[in-house]
Amino acid sequence: MIDDETMDGWFTEDFTLGELRSLRARERLPALRSANSEFDGRFQVPTFDEIMQLALDTNRRRPGQPKIGCIRRPNTPRISALWACPGSSSAGDPRQVRL
């Protein structure tokens, strides 16, 4: 049950961080983007903190270049409420993290 709707399948919240970290990224559409498949299994699924750190490090290495930023986007009303983003639901989180 997600936001009062019955859903089937597995979701990230069904797993611990350790279980998610045991996964490896792979190309979702190898027939369409075959060159990307050479990276299959090489990388862990990153945490939000790791993505933020990557953006910060990249911005520091590229002074004078356009900044890389990040916008958190909740995908359910329940997550919006947890993030204290009333009314944002699937429209996205209006707050932007400035790097």
**Successive 10-residue mean pLDDT values, the chain, 99 residues:** 74 86 90 94 88 92 91 71 54 47
In the chain, domain spans: 1-45, 47-99
Q: What is the pLDDT of residue 32?
A: 95
What is the residue-wise DSSP string for the chain? Answer: -BTTB---S--GGGS-HHHHHT-B---S-TTT-GGGGGGTTTSBPPPHHHHHHHHHHHHHHSTTSPPP-EE----SHHHHHHTT-TT-GGG--S-EE--
Q: In the prediction, which pLDDT does 89 show?
A: 43
* pLDDT the model gives residue 80: 67
Residue 3, pLDDT score? 66
